[in-house]
Amino acid sequence: MTDPNYLKHLKILGKIVRMYDVGGFSLPTTQTLLARLMDQAATGESDTLSAVLLLSNQAGAINQALSVSQALRAKIKEVAEIYFLDAFFRNDVVTAISNPASLSVVLQAWQADFTANSKTLTTEAATGFVNFFKNVLSSGGSWPQSGSPSYPDATYVVDAVV
């Protein structure tokens, strides 16, 4: 994956992970995060149109699930799975994906891209990218991690549009 594509996807995925991490917060907080997720996807560039359309199709269901933290977390997990399996994401992964319909295969290929490109994420904690990919999505494997990561949670897994 190229640097611009890592940035494009991690900015959007950061909002998805953040919504999962704060799933038990107040309704106004989670509604604001949903709006920021949509804003993050809508960068005004043609290469993000697929993400806008994909997420727009899911926004109503996410909004309905906002008031119940477990329902929200289940829906956010489902949205993440849809995102990873969509050609919008898969086509940016350089490592060959042997089964594009398998979430674990897609995530393993993306892990291989991270390793091949010497890219890292924030060291695993109870929240953030690595926790979400490894424990929530059950990706398996080992996500490259660092105390000084290429793509830190503190930059991407946030409430604001980045």
Among 89, 80, 84, which Cα is nearest to 62's? Answer: 80
Q: Is residue 54 part of a domain?
A: yes
Alpha-carbon distance 32 to 48, whole Å?
Answer: 21
Q: Is residue 127 part of a domain?
A: yes
Q: pTM of the full predicted structure?
A: 0.82
Q: Is residue 162 part of a domain?
A: no
pLDDT in tens, 22-67: 876 777 777 777 788 778 777 766 667 777 777 777 777 777 777 6
Q: Is residue 50 part of a domain?
A: yes
Q: Is residue 39 part of a domain?
A: yes
Under a CB-based contact definition with an 8 Å cutoff, are residues 84 and 10 in contact? no
Q: Is residue 161 part of a domain?
A: no
pLDDT in tens, 111-155: 999 999 999 999 999 899 999 999 899 887 889 999 999 999 999
Q: Is residue 141 part of a domain?
A: yes
Q: Which domain holds residue 65?
A: 3-156
Checking if the pLDDT of 91 tops 80, the result is: yes
- Total number of domains constituting the chain: 1
Under a CB-based contact definition with an 8 Å cutoff, are residues 113 and 1 in contact? yes
